A and B are shown apart, each in its own frame.
Chain A
Amino acid sequence: MNNPSVTATAPDATGAMSENKAAGTMQPAVAAAPESEATASSIRSMPMGKAINAGLRLALANDPKVLLMGEDIGPLGGVYRVTEGLHAEFGANRVLDTPLAESGIVGTAIGLAMRGYRPVCEIQFDGFIFPGFDQITTQLARMRNRHEGTITMPIVIRVPFGGHIGSIEHHSESPEAYFAHTPGLRVVSPGNSHDAYWMIQEAIASNDPVLFFEPKSRYFAKGDIDLTTNGTPLHASRVVRSGTDVTVVGYGAMVGTLLQAADIAAEEGTSIEVVDLRSISPIDYAPLLESVCRTGHLIVVQEAPGNVSVGSEIAATVAERAFYSLEAPVIRVSGFDTPYPPSKLEGIFLPSADRVLEAVDRSLAY
């Protein structure tokens, strides 16, 4: 719990955590952890995809009501193999290869949740979520509200998202703002293996619907996982690198880009503080505002197009709440307001460390 409790958002995150713990699903079970090499250490190095797999396995093992459902997630283990081995371990009634229909996946998950299940849906790629958009926004998001609180909708929708993989159209999208804009949903995105391992379990334990955006370009990036503690609640943001001159904030794959930019800047004598947003809705502004109050400069970075985006919301809110601390306007570094381009051009489209540093220079020169 390194999250400062100085703002209104901290109690939320803390409350969610204690509920999760009460649900009994958050206890780390080292024995059930994957790749159980004989070691007493509580630190395990794992690629993000494997970390999510390990989290899913624990959730399935700890609660018989947890179900996975999606296209090709059974014997194949998903196109990114995130569910590899789970069908064999838990069977076809726990890990469901569904028909190829996203509205069907989300809509039947709602019915299963009404029955007391906790479905975890995999949407194969970010660009394929839209056939399920109606069920997510007009049904799932409102279901508890229109039931006047008499039911819960503990559904997780996992979405591999973002670019950097040189793929074809509809395989590199960042649609998170649509869902962050929808009341009733929660939206999160892990930036490293540790968070992926813990956040997927916390999302499944949540009694609210959670959109879980997985930065697919990080699936194979290794990182250390502390199996004994999550360290940060699901809906808390976190400073992942301390600095004094400029604050940069991002989520998902952009966290890696920001850390890279901070390394480069350090060589040039600029100290960048990096905030991993982690939760896109609700946003935990406490660490961000605390940071901006010290640095006076904020750069918001995202792969998504900038127009009416998560970055726009952060810029507006920080301007409202930290106006007199800012030495320069909040600058957004985003994808362009165009469709995601043919992948040979994604290097121009996607925010890079260089583009982040260009914005840092502009902010400092203001």
Chain B
Amino acid sequence: MAASIDSPRPAPTVQLLTADGRFQPSDSAGEYLPYLDRLSEDDYLRFYRDMFVMRSFDVEAANLQRQGQLALWVPSHGQEAAQVGSAYATRPQDHVFPSYREHVVGMIRGLDLNNILRMLRGVTLGGWDPATNGNFHLYSLVLASQALHATGYAMGIQFDGTVGTGDPEKDEAVIVYFGDGASSQGDVSEALVFAASYQTPQVFFLQNNQYAISVPVVRQSRTPLYLRGSGFGIPGTQIDGNDVLASFAVTSKWMDDARAGHGPALIEALTYRIGAHTTADDPTKYRLDEETASWIARDPISRYRTYLEGKGVDQSFFASVDEEAADFAEDARKRALAIVPPTLETIFDNLYAEPHALIAEQKAWAESYESSFGEGQA
């Protein structure tokens, strides 16, 4: 079992909200507190709303999978705070390279989540165009491959000179999401090497949800993962990933620094996957109930609700979010069931940008073959 999971937070971990919802910044939080000044009262409410709606969507999507409507679902239950806080630290011009569990980050960036369901329903390999969906890039199923794409993209920003100009509308940065399991992949190490070498405007956002499917994080690393950054010459910060305010404040600082031309940073968000890895997983085979219970006690949403209630947010707000989440989930279900199946040309079109005789020939053959069965047997 990971030593860090149930032990008290070591001093450097940045935490603003305690597990029971009190605003009590850790000693390490000082330099990040000013970033909270950016938040309006609406922003505070929006954090709650997005986390809550996402969890509702999550439950609905898992139901859809159980009912045979999705090939797979990848729950984010428990990781909402890490994702929502960091997503709100990005600016419109920034680019986001997700792993495959950052649904709410996509939602905040403007992605219609129906696109994610299209991919998991087996009608597309991708699902959306990043350029028209908040620069939220496609999910990457070969773990850690996206870390290098993000770093290359950030190198391009560097070469284009849209970093460190001091113009907040112009300066760009990249954030890449990956997990504790993926951190063992060579591509993460190579991305950290390239990022340090070229001083890319980039944040590596590591969600340590304690398990790579079934293998605990101690098998990936004997050292806290945020310390890995220093070996590459990249500053690392560990945060309580179930604290949406810490996630927002710390990511804001390092994204700002990246845009300002100060180079890359690594954030390790300590969190927990309350649900299964995917709907194909059975966490009861490798996790103890007590451990899961201890993390449920630190749930990011209930903690934040307690905090908001303490600030005097009216119960009617929470009731309205309950209603909105239920509507959102119901709408997601309806639209998932209405997803149009793909047609044959999906196999062939868009593989190559330029004409390709072999593919054209095979497409023509497949069309002819399929049409030979006639409509009655389609």
Contacts and interface: CB of A to CB of B under 8 A. Distances in A.
Interface stretch (B28-36, B222-230, B333-341, B347-355): B347-355
Contacts of A114: 130, 137, 149, 152-153, 156
Interface in B164-209: 186-187, 190-191, 193-194, 197
Contact of B148 (A10, A67, A110, A142): A110
A8 B151 contact: no
Contacts of B353: 144, 149, 152-153, 206-208
Interface stretch (B37-45, B99-107, B121-129, B313-321): B121-129
Interface in A170-210: 183-184, 186, 206-208
Nearest to B150: A111
B152 A110 contact: yes
B186 A103 contact: yes
B197 A99 contact: yes
B6 interface: no
Given A114-B149, A114-B152, A115-B160, 4 more contacts: A9-B358, A104-B187, A146-B138, A207-B354
B354 A108 contact: no
B252 to A, nearest CB: 23
B131 interface: yes
A221 to B, nearest CB: 30
A260 B309 CA distance: 86
Contacts of A184: 351-352
Contact of A103 (B137, B155, B190, B356): B190
A115 B157 contact: yes
Contacts of A282: 356-358
A189 B145 CA distance: 28
A57 B138 CA distance: 34
B148 A117 contact: no
Contact of A146 (B125, B153, B354): B125
A93 interface: yes
B290 interface: no
Contacts of A150: 129-131
Nearest to B358: A282
Contact of B193 (A8, A99, A117): A99
A111 B151 contact: yes
B11 interface: no
A134 B142 contact: yes
A112 B153 contact: yes
B5 to A, nearest CB: 31
A343 interface: no
A185 B187 CA distance: 21
Interface stretch (A12-20, A74-82, A302-310, A347-355): A12-20
Interface of A: 7-12, 15-16, 19, 67, 93, 98-99, 101, 103-104, 106-117, 131, 134-135, 138-139, 142, 144-153, 183-184, 186, 206-208, 282
Interface residues of B, number: 42
A166 B317 CA distance: 77
Contacts of A147: 126, 129-130, 138, 350
* Closest CB pairs A-B (n = 4): A111-B152, A107-B148, A115-B156, A149-B350
Contact of B355 (A12, A93, A110, A116): A12
A144 B352 contact: yes
B361 interface: yes
25 contacts: A11-B355, A11-B357, A12-B360, A99-B193, A101-B193, A103-B190, A104-B190, A107-B151, A107-B190, A108-B149, A111-B149, A111-B152, A111-B155, A112-B153, A116-B156, A134-B187, A138-B142, A145-B125, A146-B124, A148-B129, A150-B129, A151-B130, A184-B352, A186-B352, A282-B358
A211 to B, nearest CB: 14
B148 A103 contact: yes
A220 B137 CA distance: 44
Nearest to B346: A148
Contacts of A7: 357
B152 A107 contact: yes
Q: Which of B130, B149, B157, B354 has the most CB of A within 10 A?
A: B354
Contact of A108 (B124, B151, B358): B151
